[in-house]
Amino acid sequence: MISYKDAGVDIDAGNSFVENIKPLVKSTAVPGVLGGIGSFAGAFELPSGYKEPVLLAATDGVGTKLKLAIQSGIHHTVGIDLVAMCVNDLICNFGTPSFFLDYYATGKLEVDVATNVVAGIAEGCRQSECALIGGETAEMPGMYNAKDYDLAGFAVGVAEKSEMDRVSLVEAGDKLVALPSSGLHSNGFSLARKVLFEKMQMQFDDEFEGKPLIETLLEPTRIYVKTFKTFKDKITALAHITGGGIVENLPRVLPEGLYAQVQKSSVKTLPIFELLGKHVEEEEMFRAFNMGVGMVLVVKPHNLDAVLEGIDDAYLIGEIKQGEKKAILV
């Protein structure tokens, strides 16, 4: 007789994994969580205090950054990336993250690896002040090779309906404030891998800025939720700088008839981008990478000082002007 384990799926390993992550899930609990792990669905009570609450949802993955985590055996940070990519999108619609779900798919469930990944997800949820209320682990031999795994995340939050339309509030004269990224975040890794490991023949343990290169590459995506919550009343709009860079993400918060002018010389480019820029044209760099800017805030002139003084590493990079809707670097 053939068992499920003979076919490549280990039910006992799955049960062991669930036991491992129960305390991790519990560590993310926030007011609103109903029940615990193990039911068929996660439950979250709609928060009070909203006049017209609207549910917002965002989903994302980590892209080929996962390849580096798998190859290096460093698995505890990509879960932070997963949460970050979702919740950083939510706040751009003035949504406060409430809860998170994850999907982990692999060819063979390695309990320790999966536990490390979920530990990162839990850390991302704690940084975002949202709860991890459920997820799915799929063991699919034949679909994934050897130690490969894939991740998807789903964040749900709540916004006041009257606060969601940020685009209509943006005006000529508004200022553009950059919040630094922590590195590549979770975009452009296919290009970065090609440049660093194929073109430049670098290795994971090559020293870069005083530490192994792989540590810089796997630096987790910065989460901006707490900053958003603190300065919400001073922010007109937010643009999460992901795939497409500043030039493609900033226009998403602009109305027709206005453009965003960014001073290229003001952008505080991180050393990793300077390294990559030796083999990639500048225009392509600004389209593929965040270039050191993880989030751009649109701020009214009368709120500028409060934002710059209140957020330690925030800095001015440009202004909104009248003209064809786009973002330009000057």
Q: What is the pLDDT of residue 7?
A: 64
d(CA 214, CA 322): 43
Q: pLDDT, tens digit, for every residue of 50-79?
A: 999 999 999 999 999 999 999 999 999 999
Q: pLDDT, tens digit, for every residue of 189-229?
A: 999 999 999 999 999 999 999 999 999 999 999 999 999 99
The mean per-residue pLDDT over the stretch 20-35 comes to 82
Q: What is the pLDDT of residue 6?
A: 57
Q: What is the pLDDT of residue 84?
A: 98
Of 15-24, 39-48, 246-255, the range with the lowest mean pLDDT is: 15-24
Smallest CA-to-CA distance from 291 within 264, 310, 325, 252 is with: 264
CATH code for the domain of 93 = 3.30.1330.10
Q: Is the pLDDT of residue 4 over 70?
A: no
Q: Domain range holding 208? A: 167-329
Strands 237-240 and 211-212: unpaired
Of 138, 163, 188, which marks where a domain is finished? 163
Q: Is the pLDDT of residue 90 over 60?
A: yes
Q: pLDDT, tens digit, for every residue of 268-324?
A: 999 999 999 999 999 999 999 999 999 999 999 999 999 999 999 999 999 999 999
**In this structure, are 179 and 148 located in the same domain?**
no
Inside any domain, residue 121: yes
Inside any domain, residue 100: yes
CATH code for the domain of 259 = 3.90.650.10
Q: pLDDT, tens digit, for every residue of 254-269?
A: 999 999 999 999 999 9
Regarding predicted confidence, which is higher, 8 or 150? 150
Strands 327-329 and 293-299: unpaired
Query: In angstroms, what CA-CA distances link 161 with 88, 93, 233?
Result: 19, 10, 15
**In this structure, are 126 and 185 located in the same domain?**
no
**In this structure, are 174 and 141 located in the same domain?**
no
Of 130, 163, 196, which marks where a domain is finished? 163
**In this structure, are 320 and 176 located in the same domain?**
yes
